[in-house]
A = this chain, B = another copy of it.
Amino acid sequence: MQKPLILVSNDDGITSRGILNLVNVMKELGEVLVVAPNSPQSGMGHAITVGDTLRLNESFLFKDVKAYECSGTPADCVKMARHFVLKGNRQPDIVVSGVNHGSNTSISVLYSGTMSAAIEGAIEGTPAIGFSLCDYSHQADFSHTLEFIKKITQQVLKKGLPKGTALNVNFPPKRNEAIKGVRVCRQANAKWVEDFDQRFDPNGRSYFWMTGNFVNFDKGEDNDEWAIANNYVSVVPCQFDLTAHQAIPILNEAWDILD
């Protein structure tokens, strides 16, 4: 049987430890192609490069793996992989993104470049997974995540995913206790409350750093925040149809300007 073609991207950039760990696991599962940003792209959400040019250069960072570094966003990387690097050739059997240095649970999925790469896979009908470790450190320890990344990817390669979905997988930080297992979850109801740290440059003009506190309103045990807090791997199936279908009849009933 032909080995699966696995496209790997991320949002921390091609030099991060997270993507190196992910590539090493994927090499055990198939043929790997890396197209990843040439600089950190955290917080880029689903941004794409429409008003500017893109660069793409071959990278020699990974042993025995074809790789490219791209000047664009994670979504750009997946688009370039498909429509330039692989144009006219065999397309990926799966898209994996990460491993992100930091949590992408709950509302953070919206801001996540890691997940935008995975969602791009799903838009194209390719099974896709974004992996994130709930540890922001550049020196983060990924050792406890590797067996789960392998198992989860194997499940998706074997069984596919429901149409129009990509998985948002988060791992608890390395703790003394071993991970308890894997839970399929919904996105927790939580948000960031920002603050802006105002400072002054050497010319006396103000500038700001965005800071924020994460606030969890969710009391349930079926969400990703609960899973991570309780030392489980969280798996949230995500969709790119943003329609709030339940709101359509409500608006149709309430509004008096419709035709």
Enumerate chain A interface residues (CB-CB to B < 8 A): 40, 42-51, 53-56, 75-76, 79-80, 82-84, 107, 109-111, 116, 119, 123-124, 151-152, 155, 159, 161-162, 164-165, 168, 180-187, 189, 191, 193-196, 198-199, 205-210, 232, 235-248, 250-252, 254-259
Contact = CB atoms under 8 A, between A and B. Distances in A.
Contacts of A239: 242-244, 247
Contact of A242 (B109, B195, B205): B109
8 contacts: A40-B51, A45-B48, A49-B210, A55-B206, A84-B198, A110-B116, A110-B242, A186-B248
A247 B155 contact: no
Contacts of A151: 257
Contacts of A243: 186-187, 236-239
A224 to B, nearest CB: 9
A241 B84 CA distance: 32
Contact of A244 (B116, B194, B238): B238
Contacts of A195: 83
A194 B76 CA distance: 10
A252 B232 CA distance: 15
A196 B241 contact: no
A54 B184 contact: no
A183 B75 CA distance: 31
